A and B are shown apart, each in its own frame.
Chain A
């Protein structure tokens, strides 16, 4: 156990402007004493680039556009290509049907948070499962 703070990149892949969920979770992460890197709108290359440069432990993808499979797959593929997939935990949140959770997890997402999720659960999950 080292005392380095957990670092979380919160990113909004694509161009959809439903940002409220991402902002709320960002605030909860910051309030929980973690290091927040707020990416805002980022394309897949920018997400992976800032994840590497900022040396984050977690990437949070906030997706409300219905395009969660496409963006998540692209991020995972590029993380693999850059050889950093094993160091980083991926979380996905947004308006995502519960029926899609299993497939997202099979793709390599650690957990998925749909509408009505509690921010405290997200923070707790990160603390328990972050890859050290």
Chain B
């Protein structure tokens, strides 16, 4: 981008400056990113001398999409403000959703409880005390009616945060509910997380099936929704780097996990006879905005370029609409402290800024009480207002991708990209993503990464104010939000009522059909749609998976 003669001049001037720098003091800290990328004192045109603006950076909405996935980005439309939210019962969650909607939230995201995650009914004693404690219980179609009551689901998008093991039952309940309310499901907008790695390495599964079956369930859902065009506007999967990043891996590993996983899903669908262009345009991503400000921004920019290259070169995608990397961001829960929790508001604001400067399509900001309990209404409102301070007061969106052209940002974007490609190779050498799981490879990588982070916190290379610097006691002042203790009774009664109403003989026949489909390894979605319409519960569907495919204990590495 610079002529040779000029660069020579910069080089000689830089040498003079380096002499000056050497004569001044440097603090005794490691100047590295969170991913251990060494950072120089200063970046100059010399660091990006080999870059070509048109082919490496280019324009927003144009290949390689480094500057953004849409031509007008936030000048055209702001990101979706989508707070991950759910607690107690569907009715209480509906109330919280409406509260946030009235305060300017522009998308919903259902945080489900541990039973919904694992496909367990509330009548199961092992999980009963956890009904509604860590999210909203969604066990049957009636729950979905209650969750969305009086909410215009044709106008606002809903993210259902369930993973492959339960995405078919929960989402089919949602689609059936929408049909019964008179909506055309072909017009429905929303996302299913449906991420195999979330429910294996991010979060340990309880009596789920082995990874090869989970991968197939994820792909069944992509096939039915998008490739077969039953719900063509739906995002059938959201590769959720966020969840495993929270488990300790770094920014480079986060992207590599996500892309290696995405490739395995695409390969599976291609084996089924589809072309990449039939479905890749609806694949979505969910990344973390962690503590290292510039590295995270570089990561978002690099992610768009890597995805573009993967789609164009590896999968020969033709339609330009299918080349864009669209992503939701969540600020980093693991960066927050239970000590001095109000400081979490500042941390979250900085991380939200990373997401916006990185060009996210959708954003969740954490509540300051995140390290203590589920968000209180007050804390959730502060989190939403944090986004609105950025959107409505800061004016950072006057121009698109304002950090482009920074010697440092462009250099770091390249550096992150190079390292991600290498790590993708490392994973792919082990095999497809289900193999990387069942062999224990990803568990070991997670363990080692978390151990490294733990050591950094213990030796002070990573600072957490209130914990390892200026330590203060665990906060006892903040109000603790408590979930509804009656939730278990309410949910058991909801299911009893449904069971009394439904045609059990008819449902038994449908469930037998599902057994058959599972044995033949056909797409489960059509039959699960029938089953949940007739009132099948989440446990009834998932128990058939367990019966036919068996359950799986992950090779946890300590």
Report if B278 contacts A (CB, 8 A): no
Residue of B204, B337, B454 near A115 (CB, 8 A) is B337
> Would you give the shortest CB distance from B433 to chain A, in whole angstroms?
18
The 4 A-B residue pairs with the shortest CB-CB distance, nearest first, are A17-B203, A70-B129, A66-B133, A15-B206
Whether the pair A67, B372 counts as a contact (CB closer than 8 A) is no
Instruction: With CB as the reference atom, state the residue of chain A lying closest to B371.
Output: A115
Size band of the A side of the interface? 35 or more
Count of CB-CB pairs between chains A and B under 8 Å = 105
Partner of B450, one of A24, A70, A95: A24
Stretch at the interface among B36-44, B111-119, B356-364: B111-119
Assess whether B374 is interfacial by the CB under 8 Å rule: yes
- The answer on a CB contact under 8 Å between B199 and A14 is no
Interface 1/0 per residue, A22-42 and B, CB below 8 Å? 011011001000001010110
**Closest B residue to A74 using CB positions:** B129
Assembly CA distance A71 to B130 (angstroms): 10
**B237 on interface, CB distance cutoff 8 Å:** no
> B204 touches which one: A17, A30, A67, A71 (CB < 8 A)?
A17
Instruction: Give the size category of B's interface with A.
Output: 35 or more
Q: How far is the CA of A98 from the CA of B338 in the complex (A)?
A: 9
User: Do A20 and B114 contact each other (CB < 8 Å), given the known contacts A99-B480, A115-B338, A115-B371?
Assistant: no
Contacts of B558 in A (CB 8 A): 23, 26-27, 30, 36, 38
Residue of A nearest to B373 (CB): A97
Contact of A116 among B118, B464, B476 (CB under 8 A): B464
Using a CB-CB cutoff of 8 Å, which residues 1-31 of chain A contact chain B? 12, 14-20, 23-24, 26-27, 30
B393 part of interface (Cβ distance < 8 Å): no
* Of A14, A43, A99, the contact of B114 (CB 8 Å cutoff): A14
Residues of A within 8 A of B (CB): 12, 14-20, 23-24, 26-27, 30, 36, 38, 40-41, 43, 64-67, 70-71, 74, 95, 97-100, 114-116, 118-119
Residues of chain B with a CB closer than 8 A to A95's CB: 338, 371-373
Q: How far is the CA of A98 from the CA of B341 in the complex (A)?
A: 12
Question: Which of B21-29, B120-128, B434-442, B530-538 faces chain A?
Answer: B120-128
Q: Which residue of the partner chain B has the closest CB to A38?
A: B558
